[in-house]
Structure 1
């Protein structure tokens, strides 16, 4: 059965089952992980679909994947009444290697030369955040990270989430007539699972389920920095490849 059809059938069955008793019974049941990638109710109904199966805009009986993620993040941070969320990982988090290099400083233009002493230095403590496979704003990541972290630590006693990077000092020399900047990268880890949400109210307002109590996103992937045993991220710092100065890089 196509995952999207499986979700639609499931939430319809769930709504029929609870609808006659009213919305107050929406939290009477916490879905369980089942069938390798879905969540199930006690009556055996499985539901869930990948994020790209959800519509781009919401309606009376449809919801966007972005709203599910945002609402779960808000519930995790603020304990929103009438909303419950959970995340079931498919397997233990896996290290995915170093990410791409990102600038730490602006370009330094060596217009006039100088001695052989280092002329570009950096000493800083970075904040490392998390991300996920559904595009949402940076402010959402904190709450969502805490939701995933709770599941990871319960299942695997694994470090997860945002972290402060180790304070480092790094110096480099930029040759005369060139410009360059300091850059860094760090190891990442990711975990894939199913993210589910249970709405007490099924209306179309804020924190409501657009016609259904239960929704779930399968194959939901969250990414976090790899931490040492002390919980600190050890990043790599390097000088970018020096580029020749162009007109306008130096003051007249």
Structure 2
């Protein structure tokens, strides 16, 4: 008779989610990731990329701000999906076969931006990175009972960058503070 366990997060005395993921294809008869839907594309929080340009002159200045940023993936267990074995391989194969989407664990993108900075102001560039989010459940079948069950389920969420995508890039300017004027304009 097979025992079916509740999701690991709800089991009273069961293994941790990380312990279960480590057993995927490493002590299981079957380990499958069931996505709850296609990868969801979204824009991450906007943040500064590159240096800030300070205009200490009396004339409008065009500054070229060069930037490059590497964005990695994160997930609900803080473990890398870059490995090609175990739960990471099962996850990537499932996403690719279910949705024809290749999961990216890291992406680097950069470019040069011209920012027009007025006298007494500063200019910078902000980026919101294009990301994919997936949710789903791992199903793991064990040949022998593992923590009193043959079958375990583990919820999982991952967020990874869209490969080679600029995202949203915004040029910003603002007046310098007195402290910034003193520090950058002498």
Same-fold status (TM-score > 0.5): yes
- Once residues 117 and 57 of structure 2 are traced to their aligned partners in structure 1, the CA distance between those partners, rounded to angstroms, is 9
Q: With the length of structure 2 as denominator, give the TM-score of the two structures.
A: 0.70
Q: Aligned residue pairs: how many?
A: 180
Contact 1:88 1:195 in 2 (8 A): yes
- Comparing both structures, which one devotes a greater share of its residues to strand? 2
Compared CA separation, residues 145 and 82, structure 1 to 2 (3 A):
closer
* Residue 122 (structure 1) aligns with: 66
Q: CA deviation at 1:194?
A: 0.4
- Once residues 82 and 63 of structure 1 are traced to their aligned partners in structure 2, the CA distance between those partners, rounded to angstroms, is 14
Answering whether residue 111 of structure 2 is matched by residue 168 of structure 1, we say: yes
Q: CA deviation at 1:221?
A: 2.4
Answering whether residue 140 of structure 2 is matched by residue 140 of structure 1, we say: no
* Residue 49 (structure 1) aligns with: 7
Structural mapping, 1:1-252, within 5 Å: 43=2, 45-49=3-7, 51=9, 53=10, 61-69=13-21, 71=22, 81-82=26-27, 85-95=31-41, 97-110=42-55, 112-113=56-57, 115-124=59-68, 126-132=69-75, 134-136=76-78, 140-143=80-83, 146-197=89-140, 214-218=151-155, 220-227=156-163, 232-247=164-179, 250=183
Helix, strand or coil: the match of 1:250? helix
**Runs of at least 5 residues in structure 1 that lack an aligned partner in the other structure:** 1-16, 18-42, 56-60, 203-208
Contact 2:31 2:138 in 1 (8 A): yes
Helix, strand or coil: the match of 1:148? helix
Compared CA separation, residues 89 and 128, structure 1 to 2 (3 A):
same
Per-residue CA deviations over 1:76-134 (Å, capped at 9, x if unaligned) read xxx8x546743111222233x32211221244444x2264342241143x3332222x2
Query: Bigger relative contact order, structure 1 or 2, given CA contacts below 8 A and separation 6+?
Result: 2
Q: With the length of structure 1 as denominator, give the TM-score of the two structures.
A: 0.55
- Comparing both structures, which one devotes a greater share of its residues to helix? 1
Contact 1:189 1:224 in 2 (8 A): yes
Per-residue CA deviations over 1:199-223 (Å, capped at 9, x if unaligned) read 7898xxxxxx6565643223x3222
